[in-house]
Amino acid sequence: MGSCNPCTGLIRLNTDLARKPPECLEYIVVRELVHLLEPSHNARLQALMDECLPH
DSSP secondary structure letters along 24-46:
HHHHHHHHHHHHHH--SSSHHHH
Q: CA 23, CA 13: separation in Å to the nearest integer?
A: 15
What's the distance, Cα to Cα, between the start and end of the chain in Å?
21
| Residue 25 C-alpha from the chain's centroid | 9
Give the pLDDT confidence score for residue 16 in this predicted structure: 92
The domains of the chain are located at 2-52
Q: Which parts of the chain register pLDDT below 50? A: none
Local structure of residue 19 (DSSP, 8 states): G
Which pLDDT does position 1 carry in this prediction? Answer: 81
| Residue-level pLDDT at 44 | 97
Q: What is the pLDDT of residue 31?
A: 95
Are 5 and 36 in contact by the 8 Å Cβ rule? The answer is: no
Global pTM reads 0.85
What does the pLDDT read at residue 55?
82
